[in-house]
Amino acid sequence: MVREAADAGVWLELLAVREGDRFEAPADRTVVLAERVFNAISQTVTPQGVLAVARVAERPFGEALGAAREAGWPLLVLDGVQDPGNVGTICRTAAAAGAPALAVMAGSADPFGPKAVRASAGDVFRLLVARAVEADLDGLRAFGAAARGGALLDSAPLELADALVLGSEAHGLSRIGLELVTIPLASGVESLNVAAAAAVLLFEIRRRKTA
């Protein structure tokens, strides 16, 4: 993840390497820590020997929207997605599908939090990430993912949307009035995990764009 951040142009303020390990990347300051100290400050049970502190600037919503439009993608918007593992997995999937940007609304986990960054495998640094408020969606053609009641995925023109909004699994979408899209599921299955739904939707958009 630290290598992904450095390769994406993120500047490291501090790079800490465990004694006995080798790792190099541009940083304001690099320190070597004894294994006991390193393990004490790491947030994982089996650390890989490298820790870093970086400063990442969130971008304006308009810039994220512009980047998505320029690439021919809807802007992916997270609306109250609270679990950092899901947020990180969605970031990883978005980067893999080719989506350039992501916006995060209130109630969502921080995409740059440690758990989310780990779940993204560092791919969050490949995305242009912005904060968003509900009013930012005014005037946009936005689709919201819904477990039921929306247009079925094969008939919803997601590739033409300005934004694709994914809501909380517990509370759904906070904004009313969105066009809804529903992924058809086998009988008896209530819904998909939000990260799994994001993968289906994003790679369907990719398929249509490259068909």
Do 26 and 79 sit in the same domain of this protein? no
Residues 101 and 172 in one domain: yes
| Last residue in a domain, options 16, 33, 54 | 54
Reported as a pLDDT band with limits 50, 70 and 90, residue 42 is confident
pLDDT digits (tens, 9 = 90+) for 182-196: 999 999 898 899 999
Sign of CA dihedral 44, 48, 49, 54: negative
Q: Which of 92, 169, 81 has its CA nearest to residue 125?
A: 92
Query: Looking at the 3D structure of the chain, how many domains does it have?
Result: 2
Same domain, residue pair 83 and 178? yes
- pLDDT score at 177: 87
Whether residues 123 and 167 fall in one domain: yes
Name the pLDDT band for 48 (thresholds 50, 70, 90). confident
If asked whether residues 178 and 103 sit together in one domain, one would say: yes
Q: Are residues 121 and 87 in the same domain?
A: yes
Contact 48, 34 (CB under 8 A): no
Whether 194 and 99 map to the same domain: the answer is yes
Question: How much of the chain exceeds pLDDT 90, in percent?
Answer: 77
Which domain, by its residues, includes 35?
2-54
Which of 119, 169, 129, 109 has its CA nearest to residue 145? 169
Residues 105 and 20 reside in one and the same domain? no
3-state helix, strand, coil in the chain (%, to 5): 35, 25, 40
Distance CA 99, CA 113 (A): 20
Tell me, yes or no, whether 13 and 47 share the same domain. Answer: yes
pLDDT at 46 over 80: no
pLDDT of res. 124: 95
Q: What is the DSSP letter of 211?
A: -
Q: What is the pLDDT of residue 116?
A: 96
**Which of 30, 54, 78 is the last residue before a domain boundary?**
54
Q: Are residues 102 and 173 in the same domain?
A: yes
> Quick check: 120 pLDDT over 80?
yes
Amino acid 1: pLDDT: 86
- Say if residue 122 is in the same domain as residue 204: yes
**90 and 169 both lie in a single domain:** yes
